[in-house]
Structures are given as C-alpha cells and as structure tokens.
Amino acid sequence: MTRKTYLLSSTVLTMFALCGCTGMQRASQTADAVAVLSPTQGNDAHGTVYFTRVKDGVRIDGEITSLKPGSHGFHIHEKGDCSAPDASSAGGHYNPTKMPHGSPSSAQRHMGDFGNIEANASGVAKFSRIDQTATLDGPNSIIGHAVVVHVDPDDLKSQPAGNAGKRVACGVIGKK
Ligand code: CU
Ligand code: ZN
C-alpha cells in the first residue's frame, strides 16, 4: 500500500469512526427527501424526517423532540401546506388510492398511514422503519405532501383518521 493510499483509507476509517453512523446521521447524508417539522401554535414539537428509497419501499428515519411521552399519530397529509396555526391547512391523510384509514401493515390503508411514533420519558421519538406502501416516484409520490405528528395516538382503525387529536408538528416533504 502506498503512503497516499494508506492516508486515504485511514481518513475514510476515521470518518466512519467519528460518524458512528446512527440511522439519522446516515440518513442525513443519503436520503432522497426530507421534511423539517415545526410546531403548531401552542406546541414545541419539532424535528426532521428523512425518506430514502430502498429495495422494499421507503425507509423513514426521524427524530422529533419536545413531545409528551407516549404514542403519537404520525401521517402524511394531503396538502403540502403547514401555514395554518393548527396545521389544518395540510388537509386529511394522503390517500391517492382511495382506501379507508388503517395501520401501516393493513392491506387497505391510506398511503399516508404511518401509524405512531413513540416518545420516550424525555419527549424524544427516534425511529427508523421501512414503509412498503409509500413511494417517492410517480403520480402517487409523497414528495410535496406534509408530515404531521399528532398529540394523541392513532388507534389505527377509527375513520377517517385514527382519532389522533390535534396536530402538534407539521413539515412539507421536499426532494433533497
Ligand atoms: Cu395526521
Ligand atoms: Zn389515514
């Protein structure tokens, strides 16, 4: 190995070592799309969600902070508009295939039905999952639509939106 090659490989190794490469750090570098979520009026919840094309669908890596501990409904909503103080401007669940509300594993579900995220005792929800229904391509792409986090859990069955309560954070998905 030449000295130059050696230096190069040790630099690359150091970068991996420093990175430690959690899902979020990897996603921030390799994701295809991203949504930065801001709190709705009277809330503090905020964070970032990355979307990456993978063989089985779309990998969703995210971290949302300043939530109350516990489960929170987590969806893609139809309109890429978080401008209303309560994020009602984002409309209902993204549902290009005209299905009923369901869980991420339901055969029939809104494309935007990502179920729940879990906030720990410090109010932080970190997650990395693959969704086999969502797509970043074609007419039903989720790009340009909104990611919404709710105050309450999605019960995964109530129509039309899982009874997840108010919207605490919202962000529009953009190409990265
Ligand atoms: Cu929602
Ligand atoms: Zn739904």
**Mind listing the domains of the chain with CATH numbers?**
22-175 (2.60.40.200)
- Cα 63 vs. chain centroid, distance in angstroms? 8
Q: Which residues have CB atoms below 5 A from the ion given as ligand 1?
A: 75, 148
Residue 103: per-residue pLDDT: 98
pLDDT in tens, 85-143: 999 999 999 999 999 999 999 999 999 999 999 999 999 999 999 999 999 999 999 99
d(CA 110, CA 129) in angstroms, rounded, equals 17
Distance (Å, rounded) from C-alpha 139 to C-alpha 137?
A: 7
Tens digit of pLDDT for each residue in 24-51? Answer: 888 888 999 999 999 999 999 999 999 9
Q: Which residues does the annotation mark as catalytic?
A: 75, 77, 93, 101, 110, 113, 150, 167
Q: What SS3 state is found at 38?
A: strand
Distance 162 CA to ligand 2 centre (A): 7
Q: How far is the CA of 69 from the centre of ligand 2 (A)?
A: 22
pLDDT at 69 over 90: yes
Q: Under 8 Å CB-to-CB from 104, ≥6 apart: which residues?
A: 113, 114, 115, 129, 131, 133
Token code pair at residue 166: 């108010």
C-alpha span between 95 and 163 (Å, rounded): 17
Which H helix or E strand runs over 6?
Answer: helix 3-19
Q: How far is the CA of 155 from the centre of ligand 1 (A)?
A: 12
